[in-house]
Amino acid sequence: MQDDKLIIADKTYNSRLLVGTGKYKDMDETRDAIEASGAEIVTVAIRRTNIGQNPDEPNLLDVISPDKYTILPNTAGCYTAKDAVRTCQLARELLDGHDLVKLEVLGDQKTLYPNMVDTIEAAETLIKDGFKVMVYTSDDPIIAKRLEEMGCVAVMPLAGLIGSGLGICNPHNIRLIKENATVPILVDAGVGTASDAAIAMEIGCDAVLMNTAIAGAQKPVLMASAMKKAIEAGRESFLAGRMPKKAYASASSPIDGTFF
Amino acid sequence: MKIFLNGEAKEVVDSCSVLDLLTEMDIVGQRLAVEVNEEIVSKSRHADYSFGEGDKVEIVHAIGGG
Write the CATH number for B36.
3.10.20.30
The answer to whether residue B57 scores a pLDDT higher than 90 is: yes
How many whole angstroms separate alpha carbon A80 and alpha carbon A88? Answer: 13
The answer to whether residue A52 scores a pLDDT higher than 70 is: no
Instruction: Provide the 3-class DSSP secondary structure of residue A101.
Output: strand
pLDDT tens-digit readout, B14-40? 999 999 999 999 899 889 999 999 999
pLDDT of residue B66: 87
Q: Does residue B52 sit within a domain?
A: yes
Q: Does residue B9 sit within a domain?
A: yes
A131 CB-near residues (< 8 Å, 6+ apart): A88, A92, A99, A100, A101
Q: Does residue B37 sit within a domain?
A: yes
* Domain boundaries, position B50: 2-61
The answer to whether residue A17 scores a pLDDT higher than 90 is: yes
pLDDT of residue A54: 61
Rounded to the nearest integer, the mean pLDDT of chain A is: 95
Which of A30, A86, A91 lies at the smallest CB-CB distance from B38? A86
- Please indicate whether residue A51 or residue A40 has the higher confidence score (pLDDT): A40
How many whole angstroms separate alpha carbon B38 and alpha carbon A139? Answer: 33
Lowest-pLDDT choice from A20-34, A49-63, A170-184: A49-63
The answer to whether residue A194 scores a pLDDT higher than 80 is: yes
pLDDT of residue A102: 98
How many whole angstroms separate alpha carbon A89 and alpha carbon A133? Answer: 12
Shortest alpha-carbon distance between residue A61 and chain B (Å): 7
pLDDT of residue A184: 98
pLDDT tens-digit readout, A142-182? 999 999 999 999 999 999 999 999 999 999 999 999 999 99
- Which residues in chain A have their CB less than 8 angstroms from residue B8's CB? 51
pLDDT of residue A58: 77
Q: Does residue B43 sit within a domain?
A: yes
Q: Does residue B66 sit within a domain?
A: no
Instruction: Provide the 3-class DSSP secondary structure of residue A224.
Output: helix
How many whole angstroms separate alpha carbon A197 and alpha carbon A38? Answer: 14
**Residue of A17, A93, A156 to mutate when probing chain B, most B C-beta within 10 A:** A93
Q: pTM of the full predicted structure? A: 0.93
Shortest alpha-carbon distance between residue B41 and chain A (Å): 9
How many whole angstroms separate alpha carbon A259 and alpha carbon B8? Answer: 88
pLDDT of residue A3: 87
In this prediction, residues A15-43 reach a mean pLDDT of: 96
Total number of domains constituting chain B? 1
Residues A55, B26: C-beta atoms closer than 8 Å: yes
* HSE, side-chain direction, 13 A CA sphere, residue A236: 9
Is A123 within 8 Å of A135 (Cβ atoms)? yes
Is B10 within 8 Å of B63 (Cβ atoms)? no
How many whole angstroms separate alpha carbon A219 and alpha carbon A179? Answer: 36
Q: Does residue B40 sit within a domain?
A: yes
- The region, left, alpha or beta by phi > 0 then psi within -120 to 50, assigned to residue A77 is left
- Which residues in chain B have their CB less than 8 angstroms from residue A49's CB? 6, 25, 27, 32, 59-61
Which of B6, B26, B65 lies at the smallest CB-CB distance from A76? B65
| Among A260, A214, A251, A160, residue whose Cα is nearest residue A17 | A214
The answer to whether residue A53 scores a pLDDT higher than 70 is: no
pLDDT of residue B55: 97
Q: Does residue B46 sit within a domain?
A: yes
The answer to whether residue A51 scores a pLDDT higher than 80 is: no
Local confidence band at B2 (pLDDT 50, 70, 90 cut-offs): very high
Local confidence band at A1 (pLDDT 50, 70, 90 cut-offs): low
Considering only alpha carbons, which residue of chain A is nearest residue B62? A46
Local confidence band at A55 (pLDDT 50, 70, 90 cut-offs): low
Judged by a CB distance cut-off of 8 A, whether residue A210 touches chain B is: yes
Q: Does residue B29 sit within a domain?
A: yes
Judged by a CB distance cut-off of 8 A, whether residue A130 touches chain B is: no
The answer to whether residue A41 scores a pLDDT higher than 80 is: yes
Instruction: Provide the 3-class DSSP secondary structure of residue A155.
Output: strand
